[in-house]
Amino acid sequence: MSIKLTSPAFENQQAIPERYSKGGGNISPPLAWTNVPETAKNLALIVDDPDAPKGVFVHWLVYGIRPSAKSLDEDLPASETLIGGARQGRNGFGDLGYGGPQPPSGTHHYIFHLYALDTELDLPPGADRQKLDQAMRGHILEEAQLTGTYQHRAPGSRAA
């Protein structure tokens, strides 16, 4: 069986609740996974928005996740390291940790990529997407994806 990524907060290809958006609370959603390959030495998570006007926009980077871990809790702190030793990188907003959806217009897709790696990543906290991609190159055993959507809402409008 292949690695599988889920969230109790939203189903694949469904709307991400407002509380996880940049303007609605900006808390990271809970994530869970199963079927990590036995040969995995590390896991890495990248959350990005391929619909961003200026190209792919990074919303979250977490790396150095132990392969024995089964989940990431909701509302993780914007700290360099997390319980268990995982490290967080800089998102496209320039911040450490999670940066929730904030599309300028329309509906955007937010892809949560979980990678099982055959090596431990030797990256310090605060790495950017380019450094993480470079460190993972040639070391990906499997990838799981979970996609959520989020629609731009005009200021003052209420979520449906």
Supply the CATH number for residue 45's domain. 3.90.280.10
Q: What is the pLDDT of residues 65-121, one digit of tens each?
A: 999 999 999 999 999 999 899 999 999 999 999 999 999 999 999 999 999 999 999
Mean pLDDT score, 130-138: 97
Distance CA 57, CA 149 (A): 14
**Residue listed under structure tokens 């320039």:** 94
Specify the pTM. Answer: 0.94
Number of domains within the chain: 1
Structural domain range at position 128: 4-151
Examine residue 77 and state whether it is found in any structural domain, yes or no.
yes
**Residue listed under structure tokens 């040639």:** 138
